[in-house]
Amino acid sequence: MATTGKQLFTTLEADGTLTIKLEDVTFADPSGNQVLVRMEAAPINPSDLAILVSGADMENAEYSHGKFVAKMPAPVNAGSKARHGLKLPAGNEGAGTVIAAGDSGAAKALVGQRVSCVPGNAYSQYCIADAAMCLPLGEHSAEEGASAFVNPMTALGFVENAKADGQDAILHTVGASNLGQMLTRICKEDGIGLVNIVRKSDQVDLLNNLGAEHVVNSSDEDFMKQLIAAIHATGAFYGFDPVGGGKLVDTAFKAMERVATEQMTEYSRYGSNQMKRMFIYGRLDTSPTILTPSYGFGWTLSGWLLFPFLQSVGRETMGRMRQRVRDNLTTTFASQYKSRVTLEEMLTKDAVLDYRAMRTGEKYLVTPWS
């Protein structure tokens, strides 16, 4: 029995032409531990945008039914050499109903159930997914389960990482995002200190309503003073940043060092011995990261990605994290969406220009069967 449905593909040619279009695809029968999922909802996360539109000129792209063709600027295109000519699927995660399974018991047990999954081609009417990575949703809707993996596991991952490094406080540079709100709830539940940076006063209110204790607004004149006070109060010398470009990481290191030097009894030209640690886990700003020589040598900055992190912690920790997500799907790990679009609507100019802006709290959900 061959199953046929629409799936989105993205192709970047060597000359910088980016083509995203829907194609009719025939899905092979699932085998072994695979399941075939009829997809009902998939979020557009920043990590998906990197492969969908990246730095392409979407203002002047050609849009037609179920397709757009855009130009990638030369520098971005040169940096994307490894994908030139490859026709790639898109969509990390989503939720739907299992309609067929391979031979394994774990796969067969999922037939008929609604699951959250991480297929890598979630912008599609059907997906083949690994049963081991499927989370049965029980009575939850597909919309409730669509974002059950990337943001929840990332937010939990930050806390796992911090604990493993002996930290009891975290700084997060984009506090009001869906992920930031989850992190706020997790830290509250786990008694982990949290410094949230936001950009607007309504975001301060939003997080305060979630019970956040330290929310600092980068638009305020005394932002640096607020930030230093919050780091002092929590001991958050360990932070996560999804922006990447510009001076946000630099600002965090500077504030951490200010707190550390204020606690020193003797001057050192090399700065404090307080270890300062930041992770960049996204690239909302693709301009370069700027690090000024203002905080000595006691700092470390790393890239952070969910999948290598999950590989490093092992199956048991990951199982515990997933169980916690499942148990708290509509509370701690709830996601909000601004708009719901079909696969076709997802490729219209209005939609693309809106979701590529990645404004805090304005996430899109793709519903392939609407």
Q: Within positions 257 to 296, which residues make up the interface with its own copies, using CB under 8 A?
A: 261, 264, 267, 269-270, 273, 280-281, 283, 286, 288-294, 296
Length of the chain equals: 370
DSSP of 28-67: PPP-TTEEEEEEEEEEE-HHHHHHHTTT-EEEEEEEETTE
Stretch that binds its own copies, among 1-9, 82-90, 137-145, 230-238 (CB under 8 A): 82-90
Pairing of strands 339-341, 364-366: parallel
Q: Within positions 290 to 319, which residues make up the interface with its own copies, using CB under 8 A?
A: 290-294, 296-305, 307-308
Strand partners, 42: 366
46's enclosing H/E stretch is: helix 46-52
Rule CB under 8 A: say whether 356 interacts with its own copies: no
Supply the minimum distance, in Å, between the C-beta of residue 183 and its own copies. Answer: 18
Supply the minimum distance, in Å, between the C-beta of residue 195 and its own copies. Answer: 22
Rounded Cα distance, 312 and 46, in Å: 23
Supply the minimum distance, in Å, between the C-beta of residue 222 and its own copies. Answer: 17
105 close to 33: Cβ distance less than 8 angstroms: no
Q: Which two tokens stand for residue 121?
A: 């081609």
Q: Which is nearer to its own copies, 14 or 264 (CB)?
A: 264
Q: Is 214 helix (H, G, I), strand (E, B) or coil?
A: strand
Supply the minimum distance, in Å, between the C-beta of residue 247 and its own copies. Answer: 9
Dihedral sign, CA of 111, 115, 121, 124? positive
Nearest to 366 by CA among 62, 142, 51: 142
Q: Which is nearer to its own copies, 64 or 302 (CB)?
A: 302
Rounded Cα distance, 35 and 127, in Å: 8
Q: Taking phi first (over 0 means left), then psi (-120 to 50 degrees means alpha), and beta for anything else, what does residue 195 get? A: beta
Stretch that binds its own copies, among 16-24, 61-69, 80-88, 98-106 (CB under 8 A): 80-88
Q: Within positions 144 to 183, which residues make up the interface with its own copies, using CB under 8 A?
A: none
Instruction: Print the binding letters for residues 86-125 with its own copies: x by CB under 8 A, - otherwise.
Output: x-x-------------------------------------
Residue type, 170: I
Supply the minimum distance, in Å, between the C-beta of residue 307 and its own copies. Answer: 8
Instruction: Print the binding letters for residues 29-68 with its own copies: x by CB under 8 A, - otherwise.
Output: ------------------x--xx-----------------
Which residues lie near its own copies (CB under 8 A)? 47, 50-51, 79, 82-83, 86, 88, 244-245, 250, 261, 264, 267, 269-270, 273, 280-281, 283, 286, 288-294, 296-305, 307-308
